[in-house]
């Protein structure tokens, strides 16, 4: 990597929830550099007490999402030159989540809501049964496939204003997971999913602002998945009345 | 404004909310006026005189705007949530509605 003679001015949010403050660092600017590289450089060269989270560095694990210049991003796949403004960067922990320390957000509420949305596998068969056949071109399968690449990074959760304003709201990722499972032939008890997502804070709390689909780093479309849940829960209401 | 709020869908959401609030504030006054036409003709005429003011006429443009954006915003939301269309299908549908509205609006203006 060629080092340019200029440096980046990086403002980093430090501290825990309720006791946060900003600290400025100067970081050497390189031609090819991700936001995660910048954070790692600070931790390795300026301040070893800086806390942040990452694992795979290739956009698969969903650990390293942070707010970069006010926008939620996966930092390992975000090039500095795409987001830098006048040689400055502002890096903060993910919005809408408590902060463990510095740039590490506490993901507990995020994952708790996956469980609340019944966003886990409800098996149809035991190990003694033959494997469930899945038809690849089936319409239902395609709906399930649409959301299957979610890496649980919580970028959508941080982008969503409904999450910010409604503590009970399950959030785009959990609801998209529920929709994926609802359409999965290997998953049973779809009724439990519909019940879970039609409670207070469920899919009907979504205002279709679309920030989730705009910011999803894997270009998934949680807003449309939530719209699918809205349709199915409404149809389900009429089915039950009959 | 926060950067994640500067995209069309978020602005459409805000427009729908604020136009809804505007209409909710206007409608009670509107119904009260209609009631006056039956119950108190003199007071109704006094109110009607106010509508000759230029500023009130301008405000009526605002009302029509609120009604229009709220109606189309509502149709947009229903299409978004109730019709599992692909993005190009939605664009075509929105284009068709826009063109139809433009053509019918032109005829309507000629009729008036």
In this predicted model, what pLDDT tens digit does every residue of A151-181 receive, in sequence order? Answer: 999 999 999 999 999 999 999 999 999 999 9
Are A90 and A143 found together in one domain?
Answer: no
Provide the CATH number for the domain around residue A53.
Answer: 3.10.20.30
Are A85 and A140 found together in one domain?
Answer: no
Are A151 and A237 found together in one domain?
Answer: yes
Closest Cβ opposite residue A209 in set B3, B10, B81? B10
CB-CB contact of A10 with A24 (8 Å):
yes
A83–chain B Cβ distance below 8 A for any pair: no
Residue where one domain finishes, among candidates A60, A90, A105? A105
Residue where one domain finishes, among candidates A105, A133, A164? A105
Question: Would the CB atoms of B84 and A210 count as touching at under 8 Å?
Answer: no
Residue B12 has pLDDT above 80, yes or no: yes
pLDDT at position B112: 67
Q: What is the b/e burial string over B24-56, where b = at least 16 CB atoms within 10 angstroms of the residue's CB?
A: eeeeeeeeeeeebeeeeeeebeeeeeeeeeeee
Residue A225: pLDDT band (50, 70, 90) is: very high
Residue A4 has pLDDT above 80, yes or no: no
Are A92 and A115 found together in one domain?
Answer: no
Are A78 and A141 found together in one domain?
Answer: no
Alpha helices in A66-171 (DSSP H): 80-83, 108-116, 139-146, 155-159, 161-165
DSSP state for residue A129 in the 8-state scheme: S
Size of interface A-B (CB pairs under 8 A): 45
Strand partners, A30: A3
Tell me which residue range forms the domain holding B95. 3-111
The alpha carbon of residue A208 is apart from the nearest alpha carbon of chain B, in Å, by 7
Phi, psi of B33 (to 5 degrees): -60, -45
User: Total structural domains in chain A?
Assistant: 2
Provide the CATH number for the domain around residue A230.
Answer: 1.10.1060.10
Residue A1: pLDDT band (50, 70, 90) is: very low
A15-28 residue pLDDT tens: 998 899 999 999 99
Of the candidates A91, A58, A40, A33, the one whose C-alpha atom is nearest the C-alpha of residue A218 is: A58
The alpha carbon of residue A209 is apart from the nearest alpha carbon of chain B, in Å, by 5
B45-102 residue pLDDT tens: 888 888 888 888 888 888 888 999 999 899 889 888 888 887 788 888 888 988 998 9
Q: Hey, CA dihedral for A17, A22, A25, A27, is it positive or negative?
A: positive
CA distances from A197 to A115, A119, A132, A155 (A): 11, 10, 26, 20
A147–chain B Cβ distance below 8 A for any pair: no
Of the candidates A132, A134, A150, the one whose C-alpha atom is nearest the C-alpha of residue A142 is: A134
Are A125 and A59 found together in one domain?
Answer: no
DSSP state for residue B1 in the 8-state scheme: -
Phi, psi of A12 (to 5 degrees): -115, 135
Residue where one domain finishes, among candidates A105, A137, A152? A105
Of the candidates A223, A225, A145, the one whose C-alpha atom is nearest the C-alpha of residue A186 is: A145
Are A137 and A174 found together in one domain?
Answer: yes
Separation between Cα atoms, residue B74 and residue B21, nearest integer Å: 14
Are A96 and A114 found together in one domain?
Answer: no
Tell me which residue range forms the domain holding A21. 3-105
User: Total structural domains in chain B?
Assistant: 1
CB-CB contact of A69 with B3 (8 Å):
yes
Residue A2: pLDDT band (50, 70, 90) is: very low
Contact residues, chain A, for B10 at CB < 8 Å? 161, 209-211
Are A150 and A221 found together in one domain?
Answer: yes
Name every residue whose Cβ is closer than 8 Å to that of residue A223 and which is 6 or more positions away in sequence: A172, A206, A208, A209, A210, A212, A213, B9
Are A229 and A125 found together in one domain?
Answer: yes
What 3-state DSSP class applies to A63?
coil
What 3-state DSSP class applies to A120?
coil
A74-131 residue pLDDT tens: 999 999 999 999 899 999 999 999 999 999 999 999 999 999 999 999 998 999 999 8
Structure tokens at A45: 């060269």
């Amino acid at each position: 990597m060629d080092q340019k003679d200029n440096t980046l001015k990086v403002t980093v949010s430090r501290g825990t929830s309720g006791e946060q403050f900003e600290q400025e660092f100067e970081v050497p600017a390189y031609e090819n550099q991700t936001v995660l590289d910048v954070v790692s450089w600070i931790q390795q060269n300026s301040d070893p007490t800086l806390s942040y989270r990452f694992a795979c560095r290739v956009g698969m694990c969903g650990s390293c999402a942070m707010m970069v210049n006010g926008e939620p991003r996966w930092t390992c796949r975000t090039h500095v030159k795409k987001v830098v403004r006048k040689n400055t960067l502002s890096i903060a922990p993910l919005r809408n989540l408590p902060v463990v320390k510095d740039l590490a957000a506490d993901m507990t509420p995020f994952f708790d809501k996956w469980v609340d949305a019944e966003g886990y596998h409800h098996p149809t068969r035991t190990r003694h049964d033959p494997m469930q056949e899945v038809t690849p071109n089936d319409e239902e399968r395609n709906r399930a496939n649409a959301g299957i690449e979610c890496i649980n990074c919580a970028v959508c959760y941080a982008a969503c204003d409904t999450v910010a304003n409604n503590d009970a709201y399950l959030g785009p990722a959990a609801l998209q997971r529920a929709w994926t499972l609802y359409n999965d032939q290997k998953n049973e008890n779809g009724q439990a999913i519909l019940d879970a997502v039609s409670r207070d804070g469920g899919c009907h709390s979504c205002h279709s602002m679309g920030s989730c689909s705009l910011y999803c780093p894997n270009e998934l479309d949680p807003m449309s998945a939530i719209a699918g849940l809205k349709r199915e829960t409404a149809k389900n209401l009429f089915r039950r009345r009959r | 404004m926060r950067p994640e709020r500067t995209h069309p869908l978020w602005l459409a959401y805000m427009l729908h909310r604020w136009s809804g609030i505007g209409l909710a504030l206007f409608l009670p006054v509107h119904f009260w006026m209609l009631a006056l036409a039956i119950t108190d003709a003199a007071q109704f005429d006094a109110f009607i005189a106010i509508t000759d003011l230029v500023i009130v006429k301008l405000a009526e443009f605002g009302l029509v705007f609120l009604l229009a954006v709220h109606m189309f915003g509502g149709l947009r939301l229903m299409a978004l949530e109730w019709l599992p269309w692909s993005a190009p299908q939605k664009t075509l549908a929105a284009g068709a509605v826009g063109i139809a509205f433009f053509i019918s609006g032109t005829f309507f203006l000629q009729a008036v």
